[in-house]
Amino acid sequence: MNCRNCKSDKIKVFHNKVWSVENGKVYRCSDCELVFIDPMMSENEEREFYKNYNEHVKKRGVIVENSVEEFHEKSKSVANERLKVVNKFFKNKKVLEIGSSTGAFLSLLDDCHTHACELAIDNLEYSKQFINGKAYNSIDEVKENDFEVICMYHVFEHIRNPIGFLNTCKSLLNMNGYIVIEVPHSNDPLITLFDCEEFKNFVFQPMHPMVYNEKSLDYVFDKSGFRKEEVIYYQRYGLDNHLSWFKNKKSGGDAVLKELFSDNNKYKNKLQDIKQTDTIFYIAKVNNV
Ligand SMILES: [Zn+2]
């Protein structure tokens, strides 16, 4: 087998379990450092999987909101936290968010021209009240080619052909356009620092065929005609969440630990300093050279 992105044959088994996939394995490429799962779902399996997406999410112990309104309310605090990290890239821009969900992030961009792209039709409809541009159900419907920023948060790791997808994004951007993405990080401290078996069994999942770090993102962006502008290491979950993995050995947090340790920012900052965080933001510009 070869690396799914750089095609190198220097790959090693990284973990021997994939959530809900019989005989699934996780591999890591020694050259571009991509972490990827095998087998990957076929396009047909993927379509079926996403039809029942909420059922899968519930099985993973994630609470599914009863209404679009409830979901939107919950998404707003995540969007606020996210905007604090990437604020400087969103000043008076023409923006397209891919996987824009209910529009929680776009609703915060007061001085931008905002466009939404979302597969889930009820979320897309709901988001229309928060945007001043167009709402698209699929990236194939977007016919404009002068966006200044394309952003996506926890979307890119779902993409089965990242280089083809980034090329499509490039065709929608103007000459000075850039992409802002946030993805789960393959150097998550629960993996690299703590080697937490239960976390790895949970986090490697068929929905994320590839898990990235800075080097593997460098590879796909470079191959797609982008150049790196900035990388931001960001830790979303705190000490209470990590201790809860050791205590309860499953996702969902722990009320007692939350009470005791949730205000510990020193811990998060330290993880950011050593670049071992649960998410990574990658900002890249169209390469005109
Ligand atoms: Zn590789």
pLDDT in tens, 246-289: 999 999 899 999 999 988 899 999 999 999 999 999 999 999 87
pLDDT of residue 188: 98
Residue 66, classed as helix, strand or coil, is: coil
pLDDT of residue 287: 94
Instruction: Compute the distance from residue 136 Cα to the ligand 1 centre, in Å.
Output: 33
Instruction: Compute the distance from residue 200 Cα to the ligand 1 centre, in Å.
Output: 20
pLDDT of residue 203: 97
The sheet carrying 226-234 orders its strands as: 135-136, 113-117, 94-98, 147-153, 173-184, 279-286, 226-234
Instruction: Compute the distance from residue 202 Cα to the ligand 1 centre, in Å.
Output: 23
Q: Is the dihedral of CA 55, 234, 179, 214 positive or negative?
A: negative
pLDDT of residue 58: 82
Instruction: Compute the distance from residue 11 Cα to the ligand 1 centre, in Å.
Output: 8
Instruction: Compute the distance from residue 162 Cα to the ligand 1 centre, in Å.
Output: 13
Instruction: Compute the distance from residue 196 Cα to the ligand 1 centre, in Å.
Output: 24
Instruction: Compute the distance from residue 30 Cα to the ligand 1 centre, in Å.
Output: 7
pLDDT of residue 4: 96
Structure tokens at 280: 């990574």
pLDDT of residue 51: 79
Dmax over CA atoms of the chain, in Å, equals 55
Instruction: Compute the distance from residue 126 Cα to the ligand 1 centre, in Å.
Output: 39
Instruction: Compute the distance from residue 185 Cα to the ligand 1 centre, in Å.
Output: 16
Q: In this structure, are strands 11-15 and 25-29 parallel, antiparallel, or unpaired? A: antiparallel
Instruction: Compute the distance from residue 212 Cα to the ligand 1 centre, in Å.
Output: 11
| Residue ranges in the chain whose pLDDT is less than 50 | none
**154, 182 Cβ separation under 8 angstroms:** yes
Cα separation, 177 vs 44, whole angstroms: 33
Cα separation, 284 vs 181, whole angstroms: 9
CA distances from 194 to 13, 183, 245, 250, 269 (A): 18, 20, 10, 14, 17
Q: What angle do the packed helices 214-223 and 162-172 form, to 10 degrees?
A: 60
Instruction: Compute the distance from residue 32 Cα to the ligand 1 centre, in Å.
Output: 4
Q: Using alpha carbons, select from 178, 164, 153, 188 the residue that is nearest to residue 81.
A: 153
Instruction: Compute the distance from residue 37 Cα to the ligand 1 centre, in Å.
Output: 13
**CA end-to-end distance (rounded Å), the chain:** 34
Instruction: Compute the distance from residue 112 Cα to the ligand 1 centre, in Å.
Output: 37
Instruction: Compute the distance from residue 53 Cα to the ligand 1 centre, in Å.
Output: 29
Instruction: Compute the distance from residue 219 Cα to the ligand 1 centre, in Å.
Output: 8
Instruction: Compute the distance from residue 9 Cα to the ligand 1 centre, in Å.
Output: 8
**122, 67 Cβ separation under 8 angstroms:** no
Give strand pairing partners of 173: 147
Cα separation, 132 vs 212, whole angstroms: 33
Instruction: Compute the distance from residue 36 Cα to the ligand 1 centre, in Å.
Output: 10
Cα separation, 234 vs 228, whole angstroms: 17
pTM of the entire structure?
Answer: 0.96
Based on its alpha-carbon atoms, the radius of gyration of the chain, rounded to whole angstroms, reads 19
Instruction: Compute the distance from residue 191 Cα to the ligand 1 centre, in Å.
Output: 19
- The gap from C-alpha 239 to its chain's centroid, in whole angstroms, comes to 21
